[in-house]
Amino acid sequence: MTDATQMNDSGGDTVWVEHEALIDRIPRSVAMIFLFVVVVGIWDLVTRMGWVNAIILPTPAETWADLIFVGKNLIAGEYMLDALWTTTLTVFYGFLIAVTIGFSLGVLVGETKFGERAVMPYLVAIDTMPKVAFAPLFIAWLGFDIASKVALAAFIATFPIVVATAAGLYAASENERMLFKSIGASRMQTLLRLKLPTGLPYIFTGLKIASVGVMAGAITGEFLGGGKGFGALIRQSASQLDTPRVFALILYLSLLGLALYFTVVWAQRRFVFWNKSDRPGGVA
């Protein structure tokens, strides 16, 4: 008989060894770098071998060179920095307006019967429309300047905030409402001291979705309405078939999106310190 069988029969402790698959044991950083190298390797291969036309997909080296070029332009404070600043302002104002309107409408819908019965159906109806289709209207109303882009960005980002705020206000449990009622809290006190704090995790989820939407809105606005933003630069480069430049610009643009997103995540950690179930970087 083998040793293993004898050990099982010996009446000693039962020893279990749990095997974790190799793929689950790789540390996060190593796994991320590994995937990056693999993807860039495949990318390099298909472009180097000429399997894909260089106009459609530039080589990693070309893209890298353009990344450096754009980076230098930005650092030197030349025209690309102006464009990025324009887009940043658009995103900032758009987000600010979306938060203000979205939060107010969310409280109206979540807290009043009128809002729930009269306002919400219209919001749902508008929300189901493809909001980008409103871009020509905003341009017609507000012109080719930054205002029309701000409007589109805010328009897209408002709805997730409304829905999240309203849902957040419903989140307090029946018992918690009864507690507040039993200790004589007014409607305003219940809203400010119970419903809003309870709803904060929901509201922040809405803000994260909105932070992604506001970027999409700003860039779409710049694509369709021209102007001086980063979106216009991308469209220009694309029309000149300068694909490496398009890639480089998109990568820098994504930094703006990431900055906004992680500002929201930071604020959530700061203000919703009690909700530890939230995972860093998670979308929801």
Partner 1 sequence: MAEVQPLRTQPAAPVARPVYEIARLSKTYARNRLVALEDVNLTIHKGEFVSVIGSSGCGKSTLLKIMAGLMPPTTGRVVLEGKPVVGTRPDIGMMFQQATLLPWKTTIENITLPIEIREGRGAAQAARDKAMDLLQLVGLGDFANVYPGELSGGMAQRASICRMLVSDPAMLLLDEPFSALDELTRDFMNMELQRICSERNATTFLVTHSLAEAVILSDRILVMKARPGHIVEDIKIDLPRPRTLEMINTPQFGEIVAHIRDLLGKEASE
Interface with partner 1 includes 117 (CB under 8 A)? Answer: no
Interface with partner 1 includes 193 (CB under 8 A)? Answer: yes
Interface with partner 1 includes 279 (CB under 8 A)? Answer: no
Which of 48, 72, 117, 181 is close enough to bind partner 1 by CB under 8 A? Answer: 181
Minimum CB distance to partner 1, residue 266 (Å):
18
Interface with partner 1 includes 270 (CB under 8 A)? Answer: no
Q: How far is CA 77 from the centre of its chain?
A: 27
**106 within 8 A of 169, measured Cβ to Cβ:** yes
The alpha carbon torsion through 223, 224, 228, 230 (nearest 10 deg) reads -20
Nearer to partner 1, 178 or 241 (CB): 178
Minimum CB distance to partner 1, residue 193 (Å):
7
Which of 178, 250, 255, 259 is close enough to bind partner 1 by CB under 8 A? Answer: 178
Nearer to partner 1, 196 or 249 (CB): 196
Residues that contact partner 1, how many (by CB under 8 A): 19
* Distance (Å, whole) CA 122 – CA 138: 20
Piece of 25-33, 78-86, 179-187, 233-241 that binds partner 1 (CB under 8 A):
179-187
Nearer to partner 1, 60 or 201 (CB): 201
Interface with partner 1 includes 11 (CB under 8 A)? Answer: no
Interface with partner 1 includes 132 (CB under 8 A)? Answer: no
Minimum CB distance to partner 1, residue 116 (Å):
19
Interface with partner 1 includes 23 (CB under 8 A)? Answer: no
Nearer to partner 1, 100 or 275 (CB): 275
Which of 273, 279, 280, 284 is close enough to bind partner 1 by CB under 8 A? Answer: 273
Minimum CB distance to partner 1, residue 184 (Å):
5
Interface with partner 1 includes 267 (CB under 8 A)? Answer: no
Nearer to partner 1, 72 or 181 (CB): 181
**217 within 8 A of 157, measured Cβ to Cβ:** yes
Report the 3 state secondary structure along the chain: CCHHHHHHHCCCCCCCCCCCCHHHHCCHHHHHHHHHHHHHHHHHHHHHCCCCCCCCCCCHHHHHHHHHHHHHHHHCCCHHHHHHHHHHHHHHHHHHHHHHHHHHHHHHHHHCHHHHHHHHHHHHHHHHCCHHHHHHHHHHHHCCCHHHHHHHHHHHHHHHHHHHHHHHHCCCCHHHHHHHHHCCCCHHHHHHHHHHHHHHHHHHHHHHHHHHHHHHHHHHHHHHHCCCCHHHHHHHHHHCCCHHHHHHHHHHHHHHHHHHHHHHHHHHHHHCCCCCCCCCCCCC
Minimum CB distance to partner 1, residue 190 (Å):
9
Which of 16, 51, 122, 274 is close enough to bind partner 1 by CB under 8 A? Answer: 274
* Distance (Å, whole) CA 251 – CA 239: 18
Minimum CB distance to partner 1, residue 91 (Å):
30
Query: Which residues of this chain interact with partner 1, rule CB under 8 A?
Result: 173, 175-176, 178-185, 189, 193-194, 197, 273-276
